[in-house]
Amino acid sequence: MSKLFTLQGKLQNYAWGGSTYIPNLLGIESNSEKYAEYWLGAHVKAPSVLSTPDGKQPLDVYLNANLSKSLGVDIAEKFGRLPFLFKVLDVNDMLSIQVHPSKLEAEKGFSIENEKGIALNAPHRNYKDDNHKPEIMVALSEFWLLHGFLAENLLTQRLKNTPEFVGLLSVFEEEGFLGLYKCVMEQSVAESNQLLRPLIDRILPLYQEGKLHKTSPDYWAAKAVDMAVDTTVLDKGIYSIYFFNIVKATKGEAIFQDAGIPHAYLEGQNMELMANSDNVLRGGLTPKHVDVTELLKHMNFEETIPSIILGALQKDGLERIYKCPVPDFELSQITLSMADLYKSKAKSAQILIIIEGEVVIVEGNTTLVLDKGEAAFLMAESEYQITTPSSATIYKATVPCS
């Protein structure tokens, strides 16, 4: 029986997406839509489609019928489903500031909201499921994001250098990260507008004249306002742009978002691998529900020194593994030139996507020729090899086996 199949992902057209990157990758015609995400996984809302010898099947349906064989007995028992979702993202307009709960907090929050009888699709529902949502992303281009609070000395400097925020300096000095964040997030609309309006009036013209750089919070704050539909109420997420690290990841560099780390994707393309969950607590740059009390409970109020993950090149010199401290997933990058032969034995299920070039994958009696943008699903215990007629870059998602 074959253990290697082609896999067709699902497009997600969100307003923040770009117009060309994903259509170019997939080789499809771009219309006027925004192409934000391309999902590879078994999420029930948008399962990928597996091409089996018996015809096409949604991946979730196939896995439900073949879970142990697909994931391996141990992983199937541990998770009861494919534990990860793999995505290509093209971020044109910045995403909301967010924090994800820990596994334990998600279990608690989910059961409390269930007991309260809050409908799963209610706009003010915080916990959509009982799972955590750690995420790792590796940049496919120059990628910009917000990640954790600035170091104490840098935040002090930032407040001093932003004339409109000088008054917040004493709040930070006396009450620290939590006190500062709580102070601005609990402001009334009138109070925050009063503080933010002069700032925006000062920086928006500079942004529009192209005088700001992406390393400056002014650039992103102005961009947020420039793209907002309604600017009568200024989004309190603007404060976070000044409080958090602005990180630039270059192609091939990765960064991990653990529970409690506030973050926001600002611009660029990436491969993202995450646990199967929709638990997002938002902190602004969004028209969606912001529950400040709940947000404060889950955010890490301490300085974060951003850790760029370069990945560990394996002995074969071809595969680079980006290790994460979670049991749900493992991300790696495989780069091949013409003479290279990549060999692997899959302990659990794997999803591969070809980002550049063309490859030939051989598993037992099955051979697949995959072009840029195409993907494959491999079952546990498959033994396979990959070659390329020119050069190729592949990203691989799997479950780490200890």
Q: Looking at residues 136 to 155 of the shown chain, list those that interact with Zn ion (rule: CB under 5 A).
A: none
Q: Supply the minimum distance, in Å, between the C-beta of residue 246 and Zn ion.
A: 16
Q: Supply the minimum distance, in Å, between the C-beta of residue 148 and Zn ion.
A: 12
- Closer to Zn ion by Cβ: residue 98 or 276: 98
- Please report the sign of the dihedral spanned by the C-alpha atoms of residue 3, residue 6, residue 62, residue 397: positive
- Closer to Zn ion by Cβ: residue 98 or 162: 98
User: One symbol per residue from 8 to 27: x for binding Zn ion (CB under 5 A), - otherwise; what is it?
Assistant: --------------------
In the chain, the N- to C-terminal Cα span, in Å, equals 27
Q: What is the C-alpha to C-alpha distance for residues 371 and 360, in angstroms, rounded to an integer?
A: 9
Q: Supply the minimum distance, in Å, between the C-beta of residue 253 and Zn ion.
A: 18
- Closer to Zn ion by Cβ: residue 159 or 273: 273
Q: Supply the minimum distance, in Å, between the C-beta of residue 99 and Zn ion.
A: 8
User: One symbol per residue from 57 to 96: x for binding Zn ion (CB under 5 A), - otherwise; what is it?
Assistant: ----------------------------------------
Kind plus residue range of the DSSP H or E element containing 377: strand 375-378
The question of whether 158 is a catalytic residue gets the answer: no
* Contact (Cβ atoms closer than 8 angstroms) between residue 348 and residue 401: yes
Residue 91 has φ and ψ, to the nearest 5°, of -95, 110
Neighbouring C-beta atoms of residue 189, cutoff 10 Å: 11
- Closer to Zn ion by Cβ: residue 62 or 84: 84
Q: Supply the minimum distance, in Å, between the C-beta of residue 97 and Zn ion.
A: 9
User: If 0-12 CB within 10 Å is exposed, 13-18 middle and 19+ buried, where does residue 193 land?
Assistant: middle
Sole residue written with tokens 């680079």 = 320
| Site size for Zn ion (CB under 5 A) | 1
* Contact (Cβ atoms closer than 8 angstroms) between residue 275 and residue 83: yes
- Closer to Zn ion by Cβ: residue 95 or 361: 95
Q: What is the C-alpha to C-alpha distance for residues 374 and 28, in angstroms, rounded to an integer?
A: 12
- Closer to Zn ion by Cβ: residue 272 or 374: 272
Q: Looking at residues 94 to 133 of the shown chain, list those that interact with Zn ion (rule: CB under 5 A).
A: 98
* Contact (Cβ atoms closer than 8 angstroms) between residue 165 and residue 184: no
Q: What is the C-alpha to C-alpha distance for residues 169 and 166, in angstroms, rounded to an integer?
A: 5
Catalytic residue among 125, 158, 197, 282: 282
Q: Supply the minimum distance, in Å, between the C-beta of residue 275 and Zn ion.
A: 11
The torsion angle over the Cα atoms of residues 360, 364, 365 and 370, rounded to 10 degrees, is: -20
Binding site for Zn ion (CB under 5 A): 98
Q: Which residues are catalytic?
A: 282
